[in-house]
Amino acid sequence: MKEMIYDFEDLLDMLDSLLREPTEFWNNFYSDRNKEIPFFTDSPDENLVSYFDNNIMKPGRVLELGCGPGRNAIYFAQKGCTIDAVDLSDVSLKWAEDRANNKNVSINFINKDIFDLNIEDGTYDIVYDSGCFHHIAPHRRMSYINLVKRALKPNGYFAITCFIEGGKFGGAQISDWEVYRLRSLKGGLGYTEEKLRFIFKDFKEIKIRKMNVFDPPNAVFGVPDFLTALFQKTS
pLDDT, one tens digit per residue, over 168-227 is: 999 999 999 999 999 999 999 999 999 999 999 999 999 999 999 999 889 999 999 999
Any idea of the CA torsion for 32, 36, 39, 41, to the nearest 10 degrees?
A: 80
Q: At what angle do helices 90-102 and 71-78 cross, to 10 degrees?
A: 40
Using an 8 Å Cβ cutoff, are 225 and 156 in contact? no
Q: Say what the pTM is.
A: 0.96
Domains and CATH numbers, the chain: 8-232 (3.40.50.150)
Strand 226-232 and strand 152-163: pairing? antiparallel
**pLDDT score for 1:** 57
- Percentage of residues in the chain having pLDDT higher than 70: 100
- CB atoms near residue 100 (< 10 Å): 21
